Chains A and B, each alone.
Chain A
Amino acid sequence: MPIIQAEGLTKTYRVFQKKDGLWGAFQGLYRREYKEVKAVDDVSFTIEPGEMVAFLGPNGAGKTTTLKILSGLIYPTAGKAEVLGFTPWQRLDAYRRRFALVMGQKNQLWWDLPASDSFQLHREIYSIPEAQFNQTLTELTELLGVEKLTRQAVRELSLGERMKMELIAALLHQPQLLLLDEPTIGLDVVAQVAIQKCLRDYHSSRGVTMLLTSHYMRDIEALCSRVLVITHGKLVYDGPLQGITERFGNDKVVKLRFAETAPEDSELTIYGEVTRREGPSVDLKVSRHEVARMLGSVLDNYAVDDVSVVDPPLEQVIARVFEEGKAAHDAV
């Protein structure tokens, strides 16, 4: 049975259109104009227990709104969702004990108290048995290397350390589902990797289901085998990360190293677009179907030392997907 089952989720916001200037503000006092904005538009997907799934999309695509619906903070304008067998926005305690949401930095911890006090509070709020609590806490602090920091006031911790504490707080009650909104935003690479490692280790040892949003491809490459791509509220892709390239990347990159000086750009443009040139090495962007024919022709005409054909970088493909999504959205 799936952990998350979302069917036709739609969320429409009514946004107040503020006019410019003082006169505009004055007009806003007695007559307000609203614009309907579809943050999430007919999104359906299912997630099975133990999966680690990433939500990928540009800012304002509807990732966070979807997470908010799934965690019960808001209810959808249309559509159904069942999470762990519950309807999230009924906010039953039985549901709230079984999942965790990490959103932003200043959420679950008491700013002025050491994290350990907040953890104790969580123990009571979630009624976690003492032995289980101590075991989980030791495991998590070791995993994240923050054993020495739990007695320090949270406000004195660095951003990365705070995020680690947030993560510990979220995992203490051993949720079956973990929803993470930008867990590594604003963190340096070391802290990012530490958070990724913790999530990966925790996932492999506990089999917890995770759904996370991130801007960082690195997070997603490191963690998730499945990706949901969402742009302008619409789900445009659901599948493995590598599949994105096959689905949306119509081009291949052909890397050539010529035996002598590489030919001029003008000679090569008949084969494809030159994207990089470095001494005898040249990268050409070639349509997927043209690769074989193009290679034959190049090898016939030039002395070539080395050839390789690769997919374009994932970031580029995804950026293209986002842009196409925007174009399609603007055209409507």
Chain B
Amino acid sequence: MTQFNPAFGFEPVAPSRGLIGTVRKYLKILRASLVERMTYRLDFILGTLFRFLPILTTILLWRAIYVGASGTDKPASSLNGFSYNEMIAYLLLTNISRMFSSMPGLAGGIARDIREGTIKRYLIQPIDMIGYLLSYRIAHKLAYIVGAAIPYGILFWLCRDYFDYFPDATTFAAFLLSCVLAFLVGFFFETCVGMVGFWFGEVTSLLYIVMTLNFFISGHMLPLDLLPHPWVDILKALPFQYMAYFPAVVFQGKVQGWHLVVGLLAEFAWAIFFIVLARYLFARGLKRYSAFGG
């Protein structure tokens, strides 16, 4: 492959190895990230284990709510279309959704790179920052999911009685697809939040607001169907439901047929929307950065 370079005339450019080269480059980043992740073994194990404590308290809380609603000492049979068992299964499943869609440290890290100037390493090396961060994040997610598989397996086995229904192959495939898309929506949404750092420098408060709101409007705390109209419709039109609610109800078979197809397409469209927005903000932000900071 040759390329014209005014300083040196035509000369072979060995480096550019096309698509395969690019993929290899980012796979290498992925590998390095995995190795880095494993360096902090204790943090990794503790982080995985202690993520289960909130689940336990949530289960106890909802048991109390269902018991309270029935007026007896047995849980009520159903609340807004969710039986007690379905509710607990739903809450367990949102943890799986969040396993894919949550991005701890992503937005804050981008803002810090901008503020402290470490972003320059992405600007002077022949590498794309978003591609780099994506590879890094996939590695972390893979490590986390593999590492959490056994404890999650045990948890779900212990809670097996709450699952009245296990999805068929097609539904399960749709669930997996919705989780992968949840990862993309989550990643690029948080990337967009981080890019705000180009304009404001500090995004900690913004991030706090977003995280707190997201916990509620993504359906992580409770199924969106429990909310009154028109809130439930509004929240179902927003992208946040794909980060917790949607994959969970897909698994539970509450979304089927055309609704499932449309839901997945909408999730895909939101992923594309955030990818484009992140790119746009990055390009605009870099322009600003090159003019004012550096």
**Which of A's residues lie within 8 Å of B, judged by CB?**
1, 3, 13-14, 65, 68, 71-75, 84-86, 89, 91, 93-94, 96-97, 99-101, 103, 106-108, 110, 112-113, 117-118, 120-121, 123-129, 153
Given contacts A91-B123, A126-B126, contact A85 B7 (CB under 8 A): yes
- Most interface-central of B13, B25, B28, B125 (chain A CB within 10 A): B125
Report B-chain residues with C-beta under 8 Å of the C-beta of A103. Answer: 120
Given contacts A121-B29, A127-B16, A129-B14, contact A71 B290 (CB under 8 A): no
Decide if B8 is an interface residue (CB 8 Å cutoff).
yes
Given contacts A85-B7, A124-B25, A127-B21, contact A117 B32 (CB under 8 A): yes
Given contacts A72-B124, A97-B126, contact A14 B7 (CB under 8 A): no
Given contacts A85-B7, A125-B126, contact A74 B36 (CB under 8 A): no
Report A-chain residues with C-beta under 8 Å of the C-beta of B124. Answer: 71-73, 96, 99-101
CB-based contact A124/B24 at 8 Å: yes
- Which A residue's beta carbon lies closest to that of B29? A121
Decide if B6 is an interface residue (CB 8 Å cutoff).
yes
* B249 CB to nearest A CB, Å: 39
Decide if B71 is an interface residue (CB 8 Å cutoff).
no
Closest 9 CB pairs of A and B: A85-B7, A74-B294, A127-B15, A85-B6, A124-B28, A93-B126, A96-B126, A73-B294, A124-B25
Report A-chain residues with C-beta under 8 Å of the C-beta of B16. Answer: 93, 127
CB-based contact B292/A94 at 8 Å: no
CB-based contact A84/B7 at 8 Å: yes
Given contacts A107-B120, A107-B121, A127-B15, contact A75 B21 (CB under 8 A): no
- Which A residue's beta carbon lies closest to that of B293? A74
- Which B residue's beta carbon lies closest to that of A94? B3
CB-based contact B126/A112 at 8 Å: no
Bound CA–CA A126/B16 (angstroms):
9
Report B-chain residues with C-beta under 8 Å of the C-beta of A121. Answer: 28-29, 32
Report A-chain residues with C-beta under 8 Å of the C-beta of B126. Answer: 93, 96-97, 125-126
CB-based contact B291/A74 at 8 Å: yes
* A106 CB to nearest B CB, Å: 7
Decide if B118 is an interface residue (CB 8 Å cutoff).
yes
CB-based contact A112/B39 at 8 Å: yes
* A237 CB to nearest B CB, Å: 25
The contact string, 1 if C-beta is below 8 Å from chain A, for chain B 15-45, is: 1110001001100110010011001100000
- Most interface-central of B15, B39, B121, B127 (chain A CB within 10 A): B15
Decide if B205 is an interface residue (CB 8 Å cutoff).
no
Decide if B57 is an interface residue (CB 8 Å cutoff).
no
Q: What are some 29 contacts across the A-B interface (CB < 8 A)? A: A3-B7, A14-B292, A72-B123, A74-B293, A85-B7, A85-B8, A86-B5, A94-B3, A96-B124, A96-B125, A99-B124, A103-B120, A107-B120, A107-B121, A110-B32, A112-B36, A112-B39, A117-B36, A121-B32, A123-B28, A124-B24, A125-B126, A125-B127, A126-B15, A126-B126, A127-B15, A127-B16, A127-B21, A153-B39
CB-based contact B292/A125 at 8 Å: no
- Which A residue's beta carbon lies closest to that of B120? A73
CB-based contact A75/B36 at 8 Å: no
- Which B residue's beta carbon lies closest to that of A102? B124
* Docked complex: B251-294 residues within 8 A CB-CB of A: 289-294
**Which of B's residues lie within 8 Å of A, judged by CB?**
3, 5-8, 13-17, 21, 24-25, 28-29, 32, 35-36, 39-40, 118, 120-121, 123-127, 289-294
Report A-chain residues with C-beta under 8 Å of the C-beta of B120. Answer: 73, 101, 103, 107
Report A-chain residues with C-beta under 8 Å of the C-beta of B39. Answer: 112-113, 153
Given A73-B123, A100-B124: 6 more A-B contacts, CB < 8 Å: A72-B123, A94-B5, A94-B13, A120-B28, A123-B28, A127-B14
Report B-chain residues with C-beta under 8 Å of the C-beta of A91. Answer: 123
CB-based contact B25/A125 at 8 Å: yes
Given contacts A97-B126, A107-B118, contact A89 B7 (CB under 8 A): no
- Which A residue's beta carbon lies closest to that of B13? A94
Please tell me which one of the listed residues A13, A124, A127, A128 contacts residue B292 in the complex, with CB atoms under 8 A apart.
A13
- Which A residue's beta carbon lies closest to that of B127? A125
Report A-chain residues with C-beta under 8 Å of the C-beta of B289. Answer: 74
CB-based contact A74/B290 at 8 Å: yes
Bound CA–CA A136/B121 (angstroms):
21
* B120 CB to nearest A CB, Å: 5
CB-based contact A120/B32 at 8 Å: yes
- Which B residue's beta carbon lies closest to that of A3? B7
Bound CA–CA A72/B36 (angstroms):
30
Given contacts A85-B7, A101-B124, A127-B16, contact A73 B290 (CB under 8 A): yes
* A50 CB to nearest B CB, Å: 14
Given contacts A85-B7, A127-B25, contact A106 B125 (CB under 8 A): no
* A149 CB to nearest B CB, Å: 17
Report A-chain residues with C-beta under 8 Å of the C-beta of B6. Answer: 85
Bound CA–CA A94/B291 (angstroms):
22
Given contacts A124-B29, A127-B16, contact A1 B7 (CB under 8 A): yes
